[in-house]
Amino acid sequence: MSAFSSQHAVIFAWLLCTLMLNTGTCNNFSIGCSQKDKLGLLNFKQRVIDLSAVLSSWNPDQDCCQWRGVNCDHITGRVTRLSLPCSTTLATYIDKQDKSHCLSGSIHLSLLLVELEFLNDLNLSNNDFLALQFDSVHQNCHNLSVVSHFHRCVNSSSLGYLDLSFNDNLAINSLQWLSRIYSLKYLDLGGIDLHKETNWLQPLTMLPSLSVLVMSDCQLKDLSPSLLYANFTALNALDLSKNEFSSELPKWLFNLSCGICYLEFGMNSLRGQLPEALLNLRQLKYLNFEDNDLDGPIPLWFGKFQYLKYLIIGANMFSGSIPPNLGNLSSLIALSVSSNQFTGVVSERNFAKLSKLKRLIIYSSPPLIFDCESQWVPPFQLERLVLGFAGPNLPEWLYTQRNLKRLSIFYSSFVAKSKFWNFVSRVSELDLEGNLIVGNLSNNVLLNSSFISLTSNDLKGSLPRLSSNVVIFDVSNNSLSGTIFPLLCDHKMLNGKGSLIYLDISRNHLSGELTNCWKNWKSLIHVNLGSNNLTGKIPSSMGSLLSLASLHLHENNLYGTIPTSLQNCHSLLIFNVRENNLSGTIPHWIPHDARALQLRSNNFSSNIPTQICQISSLIILDIADNIISGEIPTCLHNITSLVFNNATKSSLSFSFHYSSSLIYFHDDSLELVTKGRVSEYDTNLHFMTLIDMSSNNLFGTVPPQMFSLVGLCSLNLSHNKLRGKIPYEIGNMRSLESLDLSANQFWGEIPQGLANLSFLGVLNLSFNNFSGKIPSGTQLQGFDAVSYIGNPDLCGPPLPKICWQDAEHKDSKPIDEDEDKDEFLSWFYIGLKSGFVTGFLGVFCALFLNRKWRQAYFTFLYDMRDRLYVMVLIKMNSSR
């Protein structure tokens, strides 16, 4: 009786649920999860590293359908969905993106799919998994190799959605297993390293239902351009952006007859012209070829894509004129044709039917000529406009755009009058970088946009006033003059509260003191006042900038000591006061995770504090050209980032939210002296590791720890009073590209080990007391004689001096030398262990970022949001 009624209760409850269509309350009535699924999930959990107890609710004594992330079928009690994506917030300093609360370890995929026979949706996106595993504890599947195991044991006809995206440390060597998941409709492997799977296309074509495929940023290289036919029978959306494809558009693409409507190939290196076969994909709604190397004209037939809503072909090498036929694309919402080699005239006809257009990105260098009637009122009301035009007159139709929220003007020159400044006070993002805008901001202009970049123009007069809305303000590289007082100290404008987080007024003619108004600007993260004519002391009120991450005060006339109040700036990562008249000691309070300390060309004195060694993330230590004395500290090996040089992930890039949904990415930059010349490092800054202690009064011997910094790219100890011998172990510093020990009192032979440094491009050992023969038969002969001159006892090529016979030389060897060496070696190997291994891999100094990285930020800034939005829409419409 009781059994009967409880069964009734379940069925009734289920009916009720179905009627209420409310899954939230329905869980209460489910019959409980299947034992088989529960075991499968527990086995999955076993391989997972879960430091934050995400899976704490996975208690074996409880119904697994109630576990976090698990959904069951209410009737069968079988698990249908496992959804454990990790949510993270974007850190200001990208390297500090925190995934410690996410899942790590390995994903035991074959087990999940074997045990959880009815799993339809698996979402583990944005975690920090490190491996995908295929071995199994399943009974029938013992003792099989990985691949054959999967083939024998996995035959999933239920998994429809698989999302492993943004597990950035995950690499997968083979995708053969995918061909066994017949039912897959949606696959997102974005951000996973797939470079070892050269045949990635083949297993995917075995999936008859695959509708959405995202393999963005997977380090794929081969697009199989000559393959005629790929067996995607259901494909609706294809995202292969941010890979390394460098062929022409693949032939198989044009045979996707299935009504594909979303095509995303942005940020590759695709070549060639747009073939007419592309018209086979007549259904396209979204087409993105941004940032490739495509060339030739935009064909007339492009006007036939009648469903196209998004056409994004910026940053290629397209040439010719922009065809008027694009004006036929009446569905267009977004059009981007920027950064190509277009020429000619743009007129009303180019926009004739674009009444739905919301985003228009059109500029070129040299600028396009806009020939529109002055009375022309466009059929569209834009929200976003990126424009470049041949000046000097601003197109009048700009003023008809009443909904404009984001305005950028590039490659144009025009005179900005007050009508213009009034108009732009309504847009929330104003980017006028790199034009020849002539204007005077002193006439009481009040800037009001949350994002303002006026960098690299010809603005004169004093600094403008900012409203409290301004979050990002960049007027660097203009001709502004006067003091910074009006900008920072106008309290009545601000109601005591500024939102500014990014301030760059560098490279102007500003003068006067730094003011004491910093307390009004507590949200500042980035401050650059460099290359002006500012004077006075660094005010202690700067210590109230508690969020400050990056401070540049270089190339001014600042004097006095660095105020200790700055030690309140616990987030400081970059501290740059190069080329001032500052004095006192090197600050010893620099935060331990700082990345760059640049004090060069000041009057800093006293010793190098050992606290420097606690800054374990430091990659730039530039204290050259001061009056620092004493010995080099023996603790430098504690700066682990110079030992390991695992800098690939640690881009010196900051992100700033300037509205709820918009983010500005900024690559910090520093001017460094390396390889004998001055270079500006920005996107590649995090690849550079440098110690420059040159032109000081340092004395004593160089501690052996210095030579354990095997991640170092550039070492300059020149023009000091250092002495002693250079140990053979210098040969372990394999990353070294530039080594300058000149004008010291080093002695002894040039160690053979130096010849191991195959990246060494600049060597300067001149003006020391080195003796003996320059190791022969090595690349050391490849340097000019100037690398060695001024060492009277040094001989052999490239020096003209001929060497003595070796025998006599050996006899005169000092007795204590071997002892020194042994002591050194024992310290060296005990202290370093793993350092070498990673050090050898870490030859990053030579790398320069390719175009893709640069553009990545660009795209983030302009299109990421749109793209995600469209992707979601298409996913919803076509997949579920």
Please report, as ranges, the residues that interact with ligand NAG according to CB under 6 A. 25, 27-28, 85, 123, 125, 142-143, 155, 157, 161, 163, 186, 205-206, 208, 228-229, 231, 251, 254-255, 277, 303-304, 324-325, 327-328, 349, 352, 509, 511, 533, 535, 610, 613-614, 635, 638, 640, 644, 646, 650, 838
Tokens of 821: 């060496």
Q: Collapse the DSSP code of 868 into the 3-class scheme (helix H, G, I; strand E, B; otherwise coil) and give the result.
A: helix
Work out how close the CB of 156 gets to ligand NAG at its nearest, in angstroms, rounded to a whole number.
8
Give 256 or 763: the residue with its C-beta nearer to ligand NAG: 256
Nearer to ligand NAG, 206 or 663 (CB): 206
Residue 73 or 244 having the CB closest to ligand NAG: 73
CB 231 → ligand NAG: shortest distance, Å? 4
Helix (H/G/I), strand (E/B), else coil: 96? helix
Secondary structure element (H or E) that encloses residue 110, with its range? helix 109-115
Nearer to ligand NAG, 205 or 583 (CB): 205
Residue 451 Cβ, how far from ligand NAG at the closest point, in Å? 26
Smallest distance from ligand NAG to CB 118, Å: 11
Q: Which two tokens stand for residue 277?
A: 């076969």
| 3-state SS, residue 340 | coil
C-alpha 79/C-alpha 107 separation (Å) is: 17
**Min. distance of Cβ 143 from ligand NAG in angstroms?**
4
With CB atoms as reference, the residue minimizing the distance to ligand NAG is 208
Nearer to ligand NAG by Cβ, of 807 and 830: the residue is 830
Other Cβ atoms closer than 10 A to 531: 21
Of residues 125 and 364, the one with the C-beta less far from ligand NAG: 125
Angle, vertex CA 673, rays to CA 671 and CA 676, nearest 5: 145
Nearer to ligand NAG, 125 or 401 (CB): 125
Q: Which of 245, 252, 251 is nearest to 269 (CA)?
A: 245
Least distance (Å) between residue 816 CB and ligand NAG: 27
Question: Least CB distance from residue 187 to ligand NAG, whole Å?
Answer: 9
In sequence order, what are the residues at sequence separation of 6 or more whose Cβ sits closer than 8 angstroms to the Cβ of residue 8?
none
| Residue (354 or 566) nearer to ligand NAG, CB | 354
Count the neighbouring beta carbons within 10 Å of the beta carbon of residue 782: 11
* Minimal distance, residue 427 CB to ligand NAG, in Å: 30
Please answer whether residues 787 and 760 qualify as being in contact, where contact means their C-beta atoms are separated by less than 8 angstroms. no
We find the least distance from the C-beta atom of residue 350 to ligand NAG, in angstroms, to be: 9
Q: Give yes or no for a contact between 528 and 503, defined as CB atoms under 8 angstroms apart.
A: yes
Helix-strand-coil split of the chain, %, nearest 5: 25, 20, 50
327 vs 274: CA distance, rounded Å: 19
Question: Of 640 and 778, which has the nearer Cβ to ligand NAG?
Answer: 640
Could you tell me which residues come within 8 angstroms of residue 409 by beta carbon, excluding any fewer than 6 positions away?
Answer: 363, 386, 387, 388, 389, 431, 432, 435
In sequence order, the 6+-apart residues with CB closer than 8 A to the CB of 699 are 629, 630, 631, 720, 721, 722, 723
Dihedral of the alpha carbons of 363, 368, 374, 379, in degrees to the nearest 10: -50
Query: Which residues does 648 contact at the CB level (< 8 Å), separation at least 6?
Result: 844
By C-beta, is 121 or 625 nearer to ligand NAG? 121
Nearer to ligand NAG, 228 or 546 (CB): 228
CB of 378 to ligand NAG, least distance (A): 15
User: CA 364, CA 431: separation in Å to the nearest integer?
Assistant: 16
> CB 145 → ligand NAG: shortest distance, Å?
12
